[in-house]
Amino acid sequence: MITGTQTRWQTELQQAVTDPADLLSMLALDPALLDGARAAARLFPLRVPRGFVARMRIGDPHDPLLRQVLPLNAETASAPGFTTDPVGDLPSAARPGLLHKYHGRALLVATGACAVHCRYCFRRHFPYGQENPRGGRWRDALDYIRADTTIAEVILSGGDPLSLTDRRLAELAAAIADIPHVRRLRIHTRQPVVLPSRIDDAFLDWFAPLPLRKVVVVHVNHASEIDAPVASACDKLKSAGATLLNQSVLLRGVNDSVNALAALSESLFAANVMPYYLHLLDRVAGAAHFDIPVSTALQLHTELQARLPGYLVPKLVREDAGAPSKTLVPAAVVE
- DSSP letters along 194-234, please? H-GGGS-HHHHHHHTT-SSEEEEEE---SGGG--HHHHHHH
pTM summary value? 0.94
pLDDT for 82 equals 94
Mean per-residue pLDDT, 131-140: 68
What is the predicted pLDDT for the residue at 2?
Answer: 38
The rounded mean pLDDT for the chain is: 94
Does the structure show a pLDDT above 90 at 330?
no
Q: Between the CA of residue 221 and those of 246, 249, 265, 275, what are the distances in Å?
A: 9, 6, 10, 11
167-194 average pLDDT score: 98
Q: Which helix or strand (DSSP H or E) is residue 21 part of?
A: helix 20-26
Report, as an integer, the average pLDDT of 195-205: 98
- The average pLDDT across 9-33 equals 97
159 upstream amide cis, omega within 30 of 0 = yes
Q: Which residues of 299-318 are buried (b: 16+ CB within 10 A; e: fewer)?
A: ebbeebeeebeeebbbebbb
The yes-or-no verdict on residue 3 having pLDDT over 50 is: no
Q: pLDDT digit string (tens) for 59-94?
A: 999 999 999 999 999 999 999 999 999 998 889 999
The Cα 133–Cα 110 span in angstroms is 7
> For 213-240, how does the pLDDT look when each residue is reduced to its tens digit (9 = 90+)?
999 999 999 999 999 999 999 999 999 9
Q: What is the pLDDT of residue 1?
A: 35
Instruction: Determine the residue type at 283.
Output: R
> To 10 degrees, what angle do helices 294-307 and 258-270 make?
50
Query: Can you tell me the distance from the alpha carbon of 222 to that of 267, in angstroms, rounded to the nearest whole number?
Result: 9
pLDDT at position 174 over 90: yes
pLDDT of residue 133: 57
Specify the pLDDT at position 130.
Answer: 66
Average pLDDT on 293-320 reads 96
Q: d(Cα 203, Cα 36) in Å, to the nearest integer?
A: 39
What average pLDDT does this structure show over 102-128?
A: 93
The reported pLDDT for the residue numbered 132 is: 61
Contact call for residues 92 and 101 (beta carbons, < 8 A) = yes
* The pLDDT of residue 136 is above 50: yes
Q: How far is CA 195 from the centre of its chain?
A: 12
User: For a pLDDT cut of 90, what percent of the chain falls above it?
Assistant: 87
